[in-house]
Structure 1
Amino acid sequence: MFNPKDIIIKTLSHQYYSILHQWLVPASITIISLLLFANQTAALELFEFNRQLISEGQYWRLLTGNFLHTNGWHLVLNITGLLFLTLIFKQYCSVRAMIAFSLANSVAVGGLLYLFTPDIAYYVGLSGFLHGLFVVGCLAEISRGIKFSYLMLAVVTVKTIYEQMVGAPDNVRELIGANVAVDAHLYGALTAVPMFASYWLYKKMLNRD
């Protein structure tokens, strides 16, 4: 027997599941960042990107440094960026994909900073990962034929190149109370490309089977 109430319940359940599926990882990153910031002194001692301590074997700092912040403005800017990118690319933010990309890209940012930017002794912040997330979101939309994303990809490319040539704006540096690690932006954006390509090829092979 047709029961409209059952249809409504199933529809709402599906909507709630979709929202949870899309926002679970960004919300978790936000909560982790807030908790770490609330215990800033201890968190920095244990988890910040510290070149000397990484060289002594504390390799987890390559990942965990991404979730720490220099001050409240730094935290607000990064979390706002994370939530904004999740909002515009939410259709691609499955739990599994977001966990894999968040971990892989964050470790890549930390690892490349350690290997190729020796002048950075300390680093905290999500901005490298956010540049990677922006790039991978644009590539996901381009793969679906959304042409406007070519423009967005061009914008982040020009921004990243400009920062490499000129550096970050002084007002940003003053706001966050630290030098902006523009190399982290570069590494996050660059490593997002092969990560997306690998995921795209994997999905294509699955669909072919």
Structure 2
Amino acid sequence: MPNPWLHALALAAILLLAQVAGRPALQLLRFSRDGLAAGDWWRLPTAHFIHLGWAHAGLNVLGVLLCCALAPRLFDRFLWLRLAGLALGLSLLLWRFSPEVSSYAGLSGVLYGLFAMGLLPQARRGDHPAALALAAIAAWMLWQWLVAPAALEEHLIGGRIVGVAHIYGFCLGLALLALQSVWRRRIFFLEIFRQI
């Protein structure tokens, strides 16, 4: 089984390579309500792999590496399916339930989903550092959404932080965990019935 860091570094490389393409790629790939209305459906998944600038991309690369350090089991061969599900689901939620969001770019919403998927199972198994990390991430997410994002952070990334995207990502991560659990139970019960 490949080292989790290979998956994390591959994802980081994708984010950095997308950033090399610069402003034209941002305009073409970001979530854009007008673009989606014109039929640019590719924007739904691609919006999360393009960033507002190098600082924005760098922060999300650091987030990927931190997530791998805290929840390495998440960075397996199914990482890419998780990323696709979170990216597509997050964009659909923004499109359907957040009409005030006209454009969006960045991996942060997806990252919140990955943190939820990686840390919650560890916390439930009694991993206190994972529980503390999950609580801190959830508190920061709620602060950004309910109070206000830090002006310094918005200045650093070069745009507005869309706090609701973090909420959507986190909740999608929890929903995917629940689906995973149902799927595993289904397989377990099928195996029992086969043995009877």
Q: Which residue of 1 aligns with 2:7?
A: 25
Specify the SS of the correspondent of 1:95.
coil
Specify the SS of the correspondent of 1:80.
helix
8 Å contact kept, 1:24–1:95? no
Q: Which residue of 2 aligns with 1:180?
A: 161
Distance in 1 (alpha carbons) for counterparts of 2:115 and 2:27: 30
1:86 aligns with 2:68: yes
1:16-57 deviations in whole A, cap 9, x for unaligned? x431xx234333322222121111123123211111011122
Q: Which residue of 2 aligns with 1:127?
A: 108
User: Which residue among 153, 173, 176 is the counterpart of 2:134?
Assistant: 153
Paired AA for residue 125 in structure 1:
G
Q: Which residue of 2 aligns with 1:110?
A: 91
Distance in 1 (alpha carbons) for counterparts of 2:130 and 2:48: 26
Question: Rg: which structure is higher?
Answer: 1
Paired AA for residue 11 in structure 2:
I
1:65-88 deviations in whole A, cap 9, x for unaligned? 101111111111000110111122
TM-score normalised over the length of structure 1: 0.83
8 Å contact kept, 2:86–2:113? yes
Distance in 2 (alpha carbons) for counterparts of 1:88 and 1:187: 21
Paired AA for residue 26 in structure 1:
A
Q: Which residue of 1 aligns with 2:173?
A: 192
Ranges in structure 2 where 5+ consecutive residues have no aligned partner: 192-196
1:143-186 deviations in whole A, cap 9, x for unaligned? 43434433333222222222222111010011111011111111
165-174 or 39-48, larger mean C-alpha shift: 39-48
1:37 aligns with 2:19: yes
The alignment of Structure 1 onto Structure 2 pairs a total of residues equal to 190
Ranges in structure 1 where 5+ consecutive residues have no aligned partner: 1-16
8 Å contact kept, 1:51–1:122? yes
TM-score normalised over the length of structure 2: 0.88
